[in-house]
Amino acid sequence: MIALAGEGLRIWAAGHLMKSREVTSSGPYRWIGHPLYAGSSIMGVGLAIAANNLVVAVVIAAYLLTTITAAIRSEEAFLREKFGDRYDRSRRGQSARPFSLQLAIANHEHRAVAGLVAAVLLLVLKATYNGVFWRMGAGHQ
């Protein structure tokens, strides 16, 4: 459920985003500077909890920390170069663009949905495999 909430945030953000064409300040961008990355982080937390494995949690945290930090730096530099002061001013302002599912799809958010589905299916497979393993008596040795 936590991972789904993260994906929900990502879809909401992608439905307001006009990548490289304008600075977005509607939807979740009114309150969160980088809602796509926040959503990815929430998804990672949810998957780490679902995996119930410290090593998996550490790998997810390390991956998210390094990739999201680099992506934010790169993205902010690009936006400041392209939009100048308008980028910083827009982070404090609001616009009234409504959510658009077409825009979310155009921003390839379906790829994140597919990744989340794949991760959940892997966790279900792991849980199923572990359950079969334990029922066969291997857990009693």
Closest CA to 74 of 27, 20, 16, 2: 20
Tokens of 90: 């827009």
Asked if residues 99 and 15 have their Cβ atoms less than 8 Å apart, the reply is yes
Q: Which residues contact 103 (CB under 8 A, 6 or more apart)?
A: 14, 15, 16, 17, 18
In this prediction, residue 96 carries a pLDDT of 58
Whose structure tokens read 């989340």? 116
Segment 66-76 mean pLDDT: 93
Integer Cα distance of 138 and 141 in angstroms: 6
Residue type at 64 in one-letter notation: L
Closest CA to 29 of 81, 116, 103: 103
Q: Write down how long the chain is.
A: 141
Integer Cα distance of 41 and 18 in angstroms: 22
Asked if residues 22 and 62 have their Cβ atoms less than 8 Å apart, the reply is no
pLDDT digits (tens, 9 = 90+) for 38-59: 999 999 999 999 999 999 999 9
pLDDT digits (tens, 9 = 90+) for 2-42: 999 999 999 999 999 888 788 888 899 888 889 999 999 99
pLDDT digits (tens, 9 = 90+) for 80-119: 888 888 777 766 655 556 788 888 888 889 898 998 999 8
Give CA 98 to chain center in angstroms: 21
Closest CA to 28 of 40, 60, 117, 141: 40
